[in-house]
Amino acid sequence: MIHRLFFEFRYLLGMAPWDTGISPPELMRFIETHVAGRALDIGCGTGTNALTLAEHGWQVTGIDFSRQAISRARRKARKRELETEFIQGQVTTLEKLTGPYDLCLDIGCYHSLPPTAHERYFQRLAELLRAGGTYLLYTFLVAEGTLSPIWPTENRLRRFASKVFDLRSVEHGSHRHRPSAWFTFQRKPQ
């Protein structure tokens, strides 16, 4: 509950530094090299990336637990006259969604989930993403052997994901001195 209030408060005050309003180049490269289909933006915030996908012909659903963020995303979609569905819901269960999706996008949501939710998150994600579909993930990481209440290690993330996804690429980087990475996974055949 405190976690959710933190995000509501930050969106309400306009103090959400993660909400840049700009889609990252990694997503833009993906859009340029793939045919539009159905996309799910997990932890969509105010809809920046969902709307970018919609502008490029994708049928998009965005989900976030923040009422403030979803409200802003819906206003932005109406203003830009884009058909995009935004749902307020839990990304740990993704229960209000029906697949299959061709793309699942998670920019900064996974690393905010409690570790106890990681396996369930990947299981549900696998149910929603079609075989051969792409899962793009941007996440903060911690070094192996580091105890973190939330952020995953790369090995732990790979272990959970490998049950249903094949890793296609990893691009390591950092953001504000925090190790991070872009992962591109492909859903294994069922």
Q: In this predicted structure, what is the pLDDT of residue 149? A: 61
CATH at residue 52: 3.40.50.150
Percent over 90 (pLDDT), the chain: 51
What band does 119 get if pLDDT is binned at 50, 70 and 90?
confident
The mean per-residue pLDDT over the stretch 131-154 comes to: 84
Across the chain, mean pLDDT equals 88
d(CA 186, CA 190): 12
Q: In this predicted structure, what is the pLDDT of residue 9? A: 55
Give CA torsion, residues 130, 31, 81, 22, to 10 deg.
120
pTM of the model: 0.90
Q: In this predicted structure, what is the pLDDT of residue 117? A: 84
Q: In this predicted structure, what is the pLDDT of residue 101? A: 98
Token readout for 63 is 């989900």
- The answer on pLDDT for 12 being more than 70 is no
Sheet strand arrangement including 38-42: 84-88, 59-64, 38-42, 101-107, 129-140, 178-187, 165-175
Our count of domains for the chain comes to 1
Percent over 70 (pLDDT), the chain: 88
The mean per-residue pLDDT over the stretch 153-182 comes to: 89
- Alpha helices (H) along the chain: 2-12, 25-33, 48-55, 67-79, 118-128, 154-161
Name the residue among 82, 64, 79, 77 with its Cα closest to residue 11. 64
Instruction: Give the phi and the psi of residue 54 in degrees, each rounded to 5.
Output: -60, -40
Domain that holds residue 179: 2-187
Q: In this predicted structure, what is the pLDDT of residue 55? A: 97
What band does 116 get if pLDDT is binned at 50, 70 and 90?
confident
Name the residue among 116, 103, 110 with its Cα closest to residue 141. 110
Q: Of 87-96, 145-154, 176-185, which range is least confident?
A: 145-154
Q: For the segment 14-58, what is each residue's pLDDT rounded down to a tens digit? A: 766 567 778 999 999 999 999 999 999 999 999 999 999 999 999
Burial class (CB in 10 A: 0-12, 13-18, 19+), 139: buried
Place of tokens 């932890």: 43
Q: In this predicted structure, what is the pLDDT of residue 153? A: 84
- The answer on pLDDT for 2 being more than 80 is no
Q: For the segment 65-114, what is each residue's pLDDT rounded down to a tens digit? A: 888 889 999 999 999 999 999 999 888 888 889 989 999 999 988 888 88
Which residues neighbour 14 within 8 Å (Cβ) at sequence distance 6 or greater?
A: none
